[in-house]
Chain A
Amino acid sequence: MDKIIKNPETEEKSKQEKEDSKISRRGFLTGSAAAIGGAALVGTYKDASAYKEFSGWPGRFGCLTDLTACVGCRSCEKACNEANNLPKPDVPFDDSSVFKEMRRPTAHAYTVVNQYKNPKDENKPLYRKVQCNHCNEPACASACPIHAYTKTPEGAVLYNPEKCFGCRYCMIACPFYVPAYDYESALEPKIVKCVMCYARIKTGGIPACADACPVGAITFGKRSELINVARKKIMTNPDRYINHIYGEHEVGGTSWLYISGVPFEHYGFPANLPKKPLIEETKGFLGAVPVVFTVWPALFGTIYASLRHREDMEKQKHGEEEEKK
């Protein structure tokens, strides 16, 4: 199985785009004439829309984990540990005793592999690699009051410890229980989580885990293409896979996608998540803030003024009555 997909279609498309961009002399002249007329100036505003929509960085990358392929060898854990200079683990990476309990990413490990019972075959346990799913619209980033998180155009969600003050609201917000906190440190505690090997993918490489997987269970590529790959796999092997790509729609979609032979709940994936990004849940509230800021002073100011006015009127009345006496 390919660890990285190159799509011939997209390559062709970009060639064509290049050709299109070569402007013919004649076209150039007409264009200049139009520009003189000022039409070109108007043209640049033509696609301005009152409705702003951002459906994610177009060329973002992702990974597709084929849960049916994973054999639980933990090579990905080892490769991740080395690539990201993480501390040596207490138990070596070839020790399968770690499967006795469910683990999660920690301050010392970006990713862990867990073992699950196979409902189809008792003797063939299932495995799942857990790491950050790099959401399209990450809840951790929406939660952070200091903007310590960034969703990069490449797809990776990155965290900047220089900005963080350690409120850990990102951990509350993450629907996948991914960010871990370095509680042991008194002076420089920070969030620790998978970075999708950002430095490697920036220079044309692929994440260390995908590179290390001996059975090709992790495919790296453009997210849009990975969805096609996943669909094709499901369509050609309907007996092997269930018809669900986890991460295609969950919480607005994630860069890390999964296909599986059994329902995802078996692997402990949360099944109760909305399809829209979690930030949508707080938008209504945050939208009310400017309303409160403008309406409240007017409203309460008026109430105060009206009561003062009534007081004045009463005083005046009393004064008049006393004068009469």
Chain B
Amino acid sequence: MTDPARRLNRTEIARRVALDLPDGGIVNLGIGIPALCADLLPEGVELRYHAENGILGFTEMLTKSTGDPNIMEASGNFPKLVPGMAFFDSVESFNLVRGGHIDVTVLGGLQVSRAGDLANWLIPKRGIGSIGGGMDLAANAKRVIVAMEHTTRDNQPKIVNRCSFPLTAPACVDEIVTDVAVIKVTADGLVLMETAPGWSPEDVQAITEPELIVSDTVSVIRQA
């Protein structure tokens, strides 16, 4: 009896990413699906979230009507003041990033290439985009996880042989978590580790441009 094929929703993508966040580490979450990870850590995991605007050690978010605008994270939400939290200016914040002190960053993606190139800041047709801290994080975090939908709205692959969009950083991505697959970027190519319920490796390959190497241990996407 196999499950009916379905795609993970955004929270489920975040729930999968949360499994790979390091106990005791420093983690930066980008805007969008990545930001959802904050509330989804597995039981017993303790880490420090960093945000570019100068905050380390936040956990839960207050609402925009009860939170304090002077305690913000980089997605523009207002975290609760908790013991152990630290505030600092942008110089210090990017010492942490550029200095290689961020263990994992989770970023959104427009395209990821076979070589782990990431494009996530500019859609050429629009002609204007926002880089924010994304280039610094992609180039300098110890590990980069991209969390995104597997295909565009018109069902084109976002995992491609070569990015046609301008890059955020070349050869920076370590892992891709999508609504249908978990893929590791390796020197040999992209390795398919997990698939969504009801999805075969062939189903994933059909909407992925580069050839996937199917792991011997391929399984259904796990959830925190």
Check if A and B associate: no
